[in-house]
Amino acid sequence: MSINLTLLIVMGVLYACGIYLILERSLTRVLLGLMLLANATNILILSTGGYAGLAPLFDKETGPDAYSDPLPQALILTSIVISFAVTAFMLGIIYRTWVLARQDEIQDDLEDVRVAKTPSFDAEDDAIVPLETSEFAITPSNTSDHGHPEATETPNTASTQEGGSA
């Protein structure tokens, strides 16, 4: 399978422009960037499908190499529907921000700026963790000379081992 260089260049330019536009503060430019990314993805899926072939209808005389793969076409159709839904959603958001604020640019939220300026120390999360105080921790007082915990018998286990029933 040979790769079409023109499609790859167009796809790369669409991806680059789409990512650049998504990083802008204007919602209209973000919408255009999403549309460019969707079209670049469609070209990517199209290029993975290989060369055009016969329709994928079964015929006994036609070899399997002559058919075109219908999966990339189905994926592109799905991608078109999803990109249309995202575009419609973004248009709704853009319209709503224009009606409410008469602006297209996203402004810095004062609360977000305040949170970003606060130090990242959290008294609960960043406090020094005390040593293990559990009764199951191995401490020097309950270890033998070999470093293993000593076997201590409780009164209930001693009576059961001597033949008593508990």
Domains and CATH numbers, the chain: 7-51+68-148 (1.10.287.3510)
Alpha carbon distance 34, 21 (integer Å):
8
- Say how many Å lie between the first and final Cα of the chain, rounded: 80
- What are 129's two structure tokens? 């963790």
Residue 166: pLDDT band (50, 70, 90) is: very low
What share of residues in the chain are helix, strand, coil (percent, to 5)? 55, 5, 40
165 pLDDT higher than 70? no
Q: What is d(CA 72, CA 45) in angstroms, rounded to the nearest whole number?
A: 6
Specify the range with the lowest mean pLDDT, choosing from 64-73, 117-126, 136-145. 136-145
pLDDT beyond 90 at 10 = yes
Query: 73-101 pLDDT, tens per residue?
Result: 899 999 999 999 999 999 999 999 999 88
The token pair at 67 is 């058919």
Nearest to residue 25, comparing CAs of 103, 127, 81, 88? 103
pLDDT tens string 17-51:
999 999 988 999 999 999 999 999 999 998 887 77
Is the pTM of the predicted complex or chain greater than 0.75? no
**Cα within 13 Å of Cα(95), Cβ side:** 6
**CB of 47 closer than 8 Å to CB of 6:** no
Mean pLDDT is lowest, of 14-23, 57-66, 153-162, for: 153-162
Interval 100-125 mean pLDDT:
80
Cα 158 to Cα 153, 154, 166: the distances in Å are: 6, 6, 10
Candidate ranges 3-7, 29-33, 55-59, 152-156; pick with highest mean pLDDT: 29-33
